[in-house]
Structure 1
Amino acid sequence: MARFDDRKSETPADCEGFSRRDFVRTLGAGVLGASVPWIGLPAWAADAKPSKDRPSPSDLSETAVARFYKTLNKTQRETICFPFDHNLRTVVKNNWSIVKPTIKDLDKEQQALCREIMKNLCSEEGYERFMKQMKDDSGGFNAYHVAVFGEPETDKPFEWVLTGRHDTLRVDGDSVAGSAFGGPIFYGHAAGGRDEEDAKHTANVWWHQGELANDIFKTLDDKQKARALVDDAEDDDQKTISLKGAKLPPTGLAIADLDGQQKAMTTKLVDAMLRMFREVDAAEVRHCLEAAGGVDKLRITFFKEGDIDDDGVWDIWKLEGPAFSWYFRGSPHVHAWLNVARPA
């Protein structure tokens, strides 16, 4: 894969911030309680055992989290560590600081461990894309924030969460039973620091996913296009990826109504997203998806709103099923929300 252009970005006002001060101020008002629901309790509570189709505490990222946790002194633990059942763990946002300190504020060993965790959380291609995105959006990986929930050096549930501009990513060793990635995640990119990207999303590390989605739209006949295309986009918000189960609305076009080639293109689209993560997380998503009926149970929707340059290449779209919700907003730049679970 070609190397990406490393240009430092600005911090536009469209992306919502969330500081530790905001957290302290809003917790009493119950704001954080309105996090995205997903299926699952701590795996220990559910008596679930790790398997090959989901992470385990012995995986590379998870063991690095345990080593990172052991290096934290008392002051650091008071600042970035929380009980596993803390409300803050379930939050997903497009731009927020889960804790005030950045990775840069940690010592050199701890910085290296955070990078090791991140590197093992991704595929080789995904790591390169994330590093390019973080460089553009915030000046680099060390500008991001990490928090630890639970006790990763024990047999109790835990989760490591990374946040910052255009990222909410997790490592949990399957501590949250029934939930891929340990809960909803977010990734995005404002290529080259441009808040408003051009219609081709030049240099955006995630737009290849948008191109694949639009390739599916091009194969639809007129009646299918009419069903798949709606006027108003959904909110750029965590609530958009709440899992609806049997109450999934009949919005958009059912993948079950497509032909074999189009279904294969849908699988290719999902694979393009999964290819940026480590194989064990990708395997868990595939397992969750198959358990909920596979791609035939998904629906794809394209939105006229936000069509950059009115070129008919749909920048905003959604792929959703009973236990799968992927909302891709490519306008004015890419925001992608993802929530996947195993059916209850």
Structure 2
Amino acid sequence: MEYFRPIAMTDAARPEGALTLAGGWCWFDRVEVLSRSAPARVIPALDCPDDVLHRLTAPRPDFAGLTLDRPRLMGILNVTPDSFSDGGRYPSTLAALARGRQIAKSAEIVDIGGESTRPGAAEVPVAEEIARTVPAIEALRGGGMRGPISIDTRKAMVAGAALRAGATFVNDVSGLSFDPALGPLVAKARAPLVLMHAQGTPATMQEDPRYGNVLLDVYDALAARIAAAAALGIDPAKIAIDPGIGFGKTAAHNLALIRGLSLLHGLGCPILLGASRKRFIGSIGGAESAEARMPGSLAVALAGFAQGAQITRVHDAAETRQALRLWQALNTGDQEGSA
């Protein structure tokens, strides 16, 4: 089997005949052909099979009401006592409301989670996860927030309560592999869904992660999860995919996935990149504490923008928005918000 990775570009000197990547801000005229049994090679984009070109170039449908012709930011709001970066900072509904409003000034999406999925984390009871997340969602909606809110959960009962409270879509780190009731619930609600790749559960995923070829393995696994979701009645046009940086991956695995991220456009879904403040950023960048990893997180976010990732999940929404504005002005000529 061959895999086709578009070599994404943003340079203003766009050759005649170059193709637009996923209806977004990147273009490509070459494709790297990857295989498990042969050396990689580069071919002209127009030499790709027609079905591959269609998946690589077709504009992505709106996701949760957002057009995907420009990068979108998802700001993280963890209402947990133990998340690796910001656990315990927003213990009350009032604190969560204030933080959510702050995030929404810079990010189009607010992602609310009530269960830590850091390496080694234990499972949280359903009732406790609901008690943490639903009041925050209700407070944000009651306070006038109209933008998308995602519920970061692996559990059907939590997702159902969150959707009833006003959440827009479900962000499942297990890719529908944890709770068999979650897929049917999402299908019935006709809610958008993020399918993330993870090897193992948070409690065990970093013990000894191994892959034959991490980029191709993750591609195949996500393709299988998309097919499984569609078989449950979930509209593929409402699915986004996440390679799961740090979820059952070493630093080398994470780097390989980010370098080759544009391959995932071949799945035909929007790409969500969530690498903010992850451990590998601290290891490479020399930042022991999660709070000190913002500069490295920005570097990774910019790498994702350059490969056409439509949604980027971040802790530092205001700082990432500033970096994105400068990146857009330099690379795409978009100076929205500039004076």
TM-score bracket for the superposition, by shorter chain length: under 0.3
Q: TM-score, normalised by structure 1?
A: 0.24
Q: Indicate the structure whose relative CO is greater, using CA pairs within 8 Å and at least 6 residues apart.
A: 1
Q: TM-score, normalised by structure 2?
A: 0.24
